[in-house]
Each structure stands twice: as structure tokens, then as C-alpha cells.
Amino acid sequence: EDEPQFACILRELAHELKYSCLIAQNADEGFDTALQYRPDAILLDMRLPDHSGLTVLERLKESPFTRHIPVHVVSVEDRKETALQMGAVGYALKPTTREDLKEVFSRLEAKLVQKVKRILLVEDDALQRASMSQLIEDEDVEITAVEFGEQALEHLRSTVFDCMIIDLKLPDMDGHELLERMAREDICSFPPVIVYTGRNLTRDEEAALLKYSRSIIIKGARSPERLLDEVTLFLHKVESDMPLERQKMLKSVRSREKAFEGRKILVVDDDVRNIFALTSALEQKGALVEIARNGHEAISQLQQIDDIDLVLMDIMMPEMDGFTAMEEIRKEPRFARLPIIAVTAKAMKNDQERCLRAGANDYLAKPIELDRLFSLIRVWLPKMELL
């Protein structure tokens, strides 16, 4: 938290509730402190002077040493959907009341004292149900496995689950209908949902599912590792406590940069050195890079090239700057969900706010550190992975 006054309010409340407290005022310091001290829980602001809070969240959830720590966001910026998909346990919007903040601490405390984690598995194939249960079972995990959507709804009305895994093709309804009914009907709590399906999805189907689910995994040769990875994230399990075989599975799934493989990234920058450095780094990760040297060229490239997955937009450029380019891009409905990361010259708060107002999803200050850039790109690239 970079606002000293609000940080003091949080610290005083933490002390009142008998917690010890560490304070970090920027993104890098926050991650380093978490890595060094391994706290029981983390309160995180989104708008930090050096990087977005989402970068911190991504780095915390990438590291096996900090991944299990419950993170609750308290921020003026509404990034709730993305933060929850990435594994945050809750999201409170500023301005907050004292009661709101007490509720935040209660939610974190509930995660810390919880002994048994409950998973609801909805899969009509008995063999798949058995093998998935075997993959994720543990002494502190209780799995409820059902075949029908109606059975799932029945359980959700009486039990709070920490995570839910659903197949899309069920005998009595499809997975999307089940998710819509969960949103509509009176259930105890809407858990983090992992869609685990054998069906290839269109972009529209994927977008519709991501309204309700945190992750989509297409069944394939390497999908069990990916499923285990997602489940441990949402259950906040300590990896070092897991059997060695499972630790190896998790390590192998994270070593491959599937997030970048074959994805098209448009780099918009007028500086040849920046273009060369970014192109080299992204291509090494497996991304395909397109280039534009100002806002006009960026818009032209988007019109000509169909399937650009993300735009990296420099702000200070001749002819048409990044602010204007982003405003123009957002005028077109088909680019409404296109992730845009703005690159600002200095980590100035008004620059960051102006970027977000112009249509950026996030921002990064120069000089660009590649690890921070990769973290942010992982956050914003479309979430579905084909394994």
C-alpha cells in the first residue's frame, strides 16, 4: 500500500486484531518482503507507483514459496474479475469503512484456520471422475464427485466449496447452463470454477465461460498437470508439503511458457532499440511479434491482422501518441476486450490514471524490466491454454 495514511489505518486495525504487520510501499518491495518473511496473509493495493498490483499477484502465485499465501485486494481500482481469476481470495473497493476492513481480516482469518478444503467435481464419465479424484485427493481435501448438473446445484445449496471442477458436457444440462443457474439461484457461495473440457472452444464461448469461471483447461496429454496446478492455487495449498511426485508435476507444467506460444503481440513504439529488444525477448518466449511505429500504424495493423492477442503501447510517439491511439481503438466494439498494456516514460500516478482512462488494461513504467513485462503479459493474455 503506497498511501501512508491508509497503510497506517490497516496497520492499526491489524494490531487491534492481534496480528503482527509488515508494510511495503511499492510492488517490488511488496514481493521481496513476501518472499523473505512468508507472511500468513497479504493485503494488496492495485495502484502502486512502480508496477500494477496485478504484477505482484502474478509473481506471488508463480512462486512455489508464496503461492499458497491468501491475498486480499483493497483498492480504488476495480480489477476484481482478473484478480479473483488469478487466485485472490477477495476484493474490497476503496473508500472502505472500518466494518468493511474488519470483514477483509475475517475472510483471511477463515482461510488460515480452515482445516479441510472442499472440492465439488462435476463429471459424467465415471473413469474420468475416478482419475481426477485420485490426482487431487489429499488428507486435507474432501472431494464430492457427481454426474449431473442438478446434483451439483443440490450440493451447492447446502455446502460452501473452496473450488469446483466442471465438464461442459453433462447428461442433464451443459456446463454453461449450470454456471448461469449457479449465478441466478440461491446457493451458499459461488466457488472458484475450473472448466475442464474435451471440447475446443471459440473465442466467444471462452469469453462467455470466463464470466463465471476462473480457468479453462482443454483435456489432453498434459492437462492433468495443469489441473493440479489450478486446484493447488485455489485451495492455497503449500507446495513443499505435497508429495514429491506432485511437486515434480507442478514444476514441469510451469517450466513451459505456454502462455506465450504462438500468441500474436503488437509492439507499438517509435524507438528502434526498444522494438529490437522487445521483439527478441518476446520471440524467445514463443510469441509472434507485429510492429507499429506510432498510433496510426497501430490502428492500421489491427485492421489488417485478424488475431492479435495483446498490444504493448508506448505512450510518447510522434504523429499519434499512445493515449489517442488507445481511445481510437476502444471506439471499435470488436476491440473492447483486446488487452492493451501502456508503457509510460515515468512512474507518475497521473500518467497511470490517464492510461487507464484512455483504455489501457494496465501500465508499465520505463525502463522496462523483462521479468515484470512477462508477468504482466501472462496476466492479460487470454486465459485458455491448449495442452
Q: What is the mean pLDDT of the chain?
A: 88
pLDDT at 253: 66
| Digit-coded pLDDT (tens) for 103-148 | 999 999 988 888 899 999 999 999 999 999 999 998 889 999 999 9
Number of domains in the chain: 3
CA distance 301 to 189: 44
Give domain status of residue 93, yes or no. yes
Residues 240 and 353 placed together within one structural domain of the fold: no
3-12, 247-256, 258-267, 295-304: which has the minimum mean pLDDT?
Answer: 247-256
Q: Within this chain, do residues 340 and 222 fall inside the same structural domain, yes or no?
A: no
122 and 50 in a single domain? The answer is no
Same domain, 144 and 250: yes
Window from 52-56, 167-171, 259-263 with minimum mean pLDDT: 259-263
User: Is 46 domain-assigned?
Assistant: yes
Angle, CA 211 vertex, CA 172 and CA 185 arms, to 5°: 50
Q: Please check whether residues 138 and 208 belong to one and the same domain.
A: yes
- Look up the CATH number of the domain holding residue 35: 3.40.50.2300
For 131, residues 6+ apart whose C-beta sits below 8 A from its C-beta are: 224
Say whether pLDDT at 252 is over 80. no
Q: Are residues 126 and 243 in the same domain?
A: yes
- The verdict on 237 and 123 lying in the same domain is yes
Q: Identify the domain boundary among 95, 113, 131.
A: 113
End position of a domain, from candidates 255, 282, 316: 255
Indicate if the pLDDT at residue 378 is higher than 80.
yes
Instruction: Indicate if the pLDDT at residue 337 is higher than 90.
Output: no
Indicate if 57 and 98 belong to the same structural domain. yes
- Please report which confidence band the pLDDT of residue 347 belongs to, taking 50, 70 and 90 as the band edges: low
Whether 387 maps to a domain, the answer reads: no
Last residue of a domain, one of 56, 86, 113: 113
Same domain membership, residue 40 and residue 20: yes
210 domain residue, yes or no: yes
One domain, residues 143 and 222: yes
Residues 83 and 24 in one domain: yes
Domain, as residue range, for 235: 117-255
pLDDT of residue 221: 58
Predicted TM-score (pTM) of this structure: 0.71
How far is the C-alpha of 77 from the C-alpha of 84, rounded, in Å? 14
The stretch 48-61 carries a mean pLDDT of 88
Cβ within 8 Å of residue 200, ≥6 positions away = 218, 386
